[in-house]
Amino acid sequence: MSDAELAYNKVLLKLSGEALAGDNSYGIDPQIISGIAREIAEVVAMGVQLSIVIGGGNIFRGLAASSAGMDRASADYMGMLATVMNSLALQDALETVGVKTRVQSAIEMREIAEPYIRRRAVRHLEKGRVVIFAAGTGNPYFTTDTAASLRAMEIGAEVILKATKVDGVYNADPHKDAAAVKYETLTYLDVLQMGLQVMDATATSLCMDNDLPIVVFNLTCPGNIKKVVMGETIGTIVKGGK
C-alpha cells in the first residue's frame, strides 16, 4: 500500500494501562494484548511508522498512592516501573506476531531496554520497527499523557492516537448518561476550558503549542487504528481553530 493512501505516515499511539487489563481490575489480559498487537501489526505492514506510550494504571497508580500518603516522587517512580512492565509485555506480544520492536526507557535499565535516545528512536522507526517508550518522561509529577506529547514532538509524529474505551470525547460519561453528546471536533482551548478528560492540561498545552492533533477513538472496536491512519472520520479530533 502506498504512502499516498495514508492520512498519517508517522503516529504515536497512547495506550492506557487499564486497556491491557480488559475486564479485569488488575494485570494484563493475554487475549487483549494479543489483539492489540495484531492490529498494530496490520498498520505497520501498511508502511506506517508507529511508536507507543503505555500507562501503568493496571499495575500501579502513582497519584492514587500519593493521595493515600505515599511520597509523591516515590509513588511516581513506581508508576514508571509499571509502564516498563507493560512495555515489555507488549513487546513480546508484537514480536509473537512478527513485528520488530524496540523498548526505550527514560530510566536506564540496560539489561531489558535501550536508554531513550531520540535519534536512535527515529532511526528505528525509519527501519520499520515499532518503538515503545517506557518509564514516562523519567521524572515524577509528569503523566504518561505528557510523555506521549513530548515523545511525539521529539520524533516528528504527525498525530497522537489516544486509545480509549469509548468512541470519542463526550460532554458527560456515555456509560452513565444516555443523553451524553459526542464531539466530532474540538480545539485545544475547548479541552482546557471545559476540563474535558482527553489528556491532562500539560499534555494538551504541549500539543497546542506545537499544533499536534490528537485523535481520541475506541480501541475495543477491531480495525479502528487502521481506520484512523487511513483518514476515516471516527472518534473525536482535537486540533487548532475550527
pLDDT at 22: 87
Length, in residues, of the chain: 242
pLDDT above 50 for 82: yes
Contacting residues for 57 by C-beta, under 8 A, at least 6 apart = 16, 17, 18, 82
Give the residue-averaged pLDDT of 171-196: 92
Residues 6+ apart with CB under 8 A from 161: 11, 12, 13, 14, 215, 217, 225, 228
**What whole-number distance in Å separates Cα of residue 12 and Cα of residue 133?**
10
CA distances from 232 to 21, 85, 198, 205, 206 (A): 28, 33, 20, 26, 25
Cell of 22: 480488559
pLDDT tops 60 at residue 205: yes
| 87 band by pLDDT with thresholds 50, 70 and 90 | very high
Q: Residue 4: its pLDDT value, please?
A: 52
- What pLDDT, in 10s, does the model give residues 1-47? 445 589 999 999 999 999 999 888 899 999 999 999 999 999 999 99
| High-pLDDT (> 70) share of the chain, % | 98
Nearest to 42 by CA among 89, 91, 99, 88: 99
Domain that holds residue 139: 3-239
Q: What is the pLDDT of residues 88-122, one digit of tens each?
A: 999 999 999 999 999 999 999 999 999 999 999 99
Facing residues of 15 across strands? 54
- Average model confidence (pLDDT) across the chain: 94
Strand intervals (E) in 7-94:
10-15, 49-54
Residue from 111, 93, 91, 120 nearest 103 by CA: 91
Predicted model pTM: 0.94
Neighbours of 98 (CB within 10 A): 10
Alpha carbon 37 to chain centroid, angstroms: 14
Q: What is the pLDDT of residues 128-161, one digit of tens each?
A: 999 999 999 999 999 999 999 999 999 999 999 9
Q: What's the pLDDT score for residue 81?
A: 96
> For residue 171, what is the domain's CATH number?
3.40.1160.10
pLDDT surpassing 90 at residue 165 = no
- b/e map of 155-166 (b: 16 or more CB within 10 Å)? bebbbbbbbbeb
Residue 172's pLDDT is what?
87
How many domains are contained in the chain? 1
Task: From 201, 73, 83, select the one nearest 140 (Cα to Cα).
Answer: 73
Residue 61 has pLDDT above 70, yes or no: yes
Q: Which three three-digit cell numbers place residue 195?
A: 476540563
How high is the pLDDT of residue 145? 97
% pLDDT > 90, the chain: 86
